[in-house]
Amino acid sequence: MGQMQAAGLYSPPPPPQTAPPAPSSPAKDDEPPAKEDKIENPGDMETLTKRAKDMLPQPFDGCKLVLNKGLSQFFQTSHTIQLGSNIQPAQYQFGATYVGSSQISDREYRPVMMGDMSSNGSLVGMLIHQYGNWRLKCNVQTDKSKWVVYQSTLDYIGSDYTASLTLGNPNLFQNTGVLVLQYLQSVTARLSLGAEVLFQKMPGMELSVLSLGANYRGIDWEAIGKIGMHQWSLCYLHHASDDLTLVAEFEGVPMQGESILSVGYKYDLRKANVSFKGVVDTQWNVSCIVEKRLDPLPATLTLSGLINHVSDKARFGIGFSLG
């Protein structure tokens, strides 16, 4: 939900969808619908451009160590240590995840509860629960002793549409807060159209923003767009093969006269258990992430690099995940 993020709200990463996690073959994005006239649920507006963004690397610097430990079939913990980062000081994070036994689909279970506490006192928490077609999502975030984000989203998931209502940071005493209405409809088996309306009330100021979204899926490509009065986001994915996906993303803020174009790729070398992600953008940033699964161990080695030839800056990171 791009407009919510622009308003200062935080959307934590999505929780694991299985309980317990089990290896499965990922669905092919280039697989066409089984029937041209079969219309399915298109998802929601909040995650409309998420698939394209997940294809692009998110570089980091310094050293990162992640240890995941499953304590039971439904409960697991994680420990993260990050050192030597130029972006943020060294810190330790403890996370806990609970996934319930109520099965929603082949790969989804509810409820899901996640919490993440860092050594500086910050906390991020999330709850997702679903009953029938109704889904509730609650997010909270604190910065030491201050509440930064507290928002709730109620979704109604229809057979070919999703309607959402989000209330963020409500304050009855100061009469402030954010209200977001979203709707995404499958028009055909390949085309989805949606709209988002954001209302924000601040001391002495009121703001409303309208955004329109669309998603069209071809046999081996996908085009996604989300255009609002304050922010544009256009994405294009091309599945060149089962292992290679090309991505182009354009983001702009018309009122500030700022825009950025990113072109990247994701390549999976399956026989070697290696995944490559690379991107170059119009701000002269060139970044890449390499992930190597260390079979038969449940471990992953990650190498990250970013260089900007104009500003003469470079960052390098190495990560290791176990469990």
- What is the tens place of the pLDDT at every residue in 236-270? 999 999 999 999 999 999 888 899 999 999 999 99
Indicate whether 38 belongs to any domain: no
User: Nearest Cα to 281, choosing from 258, 299, 298?
Assistant: 258
- Structural domain that includes position 309: 47-322
pLDDT band at 323 (very low <50, low <70, confident <90, very high): confident
Most confident of 205-209, 214-218, 256-260, 309-313: 214-218
Question: Between residues 174 and 239, which one has the greater pLDDT?
Answer: 239
Alpha helices in the chain (DSSP H): 2-6, 50-55
Q: Within a domain: residue 217?
A: yes
Q: Are 286 and 57 in contact (CB under 8 A)?
A: no
H-helix or E-strand spanning residue 184: strand 176-186
DSSP secondary-structure letter at 42? -
Query: Is the per-residue pLDDT at 212 higher than 80?
Result: yes
> pLDDT tens-digit profile of 63-92?
999 999 999 999 999 999 998 766 667 889
- Does pLDDT of 23 surpass 50? no
226 belongs to a structural domain? yes
Contacts 24+ apart (CB under 8 A), 221-227: 221/30, 222/29, 222/51, 222/52, 224/48, 224/49, 224/51, 224/52, 226/2, 226/45, 226/48, 226/49, 226/196
CATH code, domain with 217: 2.40.160.10
Would you call the peptide bond into 111 cis, given omega within 30 degrees of 0 as the criterion? yes
* Residue 37: inside a domain: no
Exposed, middle or buried by CB within 10 Å (0-12, 13-18, 19+), for 256?
exposed
Cα atoms in the Cβ-side hemisphere of radius 13 Å centred on 59:
21
- Please tell me the least confidently modeled range out of 33-42, 91-100, 260-269: 33-42
Q: What mean pLDDT is predicted for residues 138-142?
A: 95
How many Å apart are CA 2 and CA 196, to the nearest integer?
10
8 Å CB contact between 85 and 92? no
The closest of 151, 218, 145 to 179, measured between CA atoms, is 151
Q: How much is the pLDDT for 203?
A: 85
Residue 41 maps to a domain: no
Q: Is residue 304 part of a domain?
A: yes
Percent of the chain with pLDDT over 70: 87
pLDDT at 244: 96
pLDDT number for residue 254: 85
Whether residue 301 is contained in a domain is answered as yes
Total of domains in the chain: 1
Query: Domain for residue 35, yes or no?
Result: no
Q: Is the predicted pLDDT of residue 115 greater than 80, yes or no?
A: yes
Which whole number is the average pLDDT over 272-281?
96
Q: How confident is the model at residue 230 (pLDDT cuts 50, 70, 90)?
A: confident
Q: What does pLDDT average to over the chain? A: 87
Mean pLDDT of 150-173: 94
User: Position 261: which residue type?
Assistant: L
pLDDT of residue 86: 64
* pLDDT beyond 50 at 6: no
CB-based contacts of 282, cutoff 8 Å, min separation 6: 259, 260, 261, 262
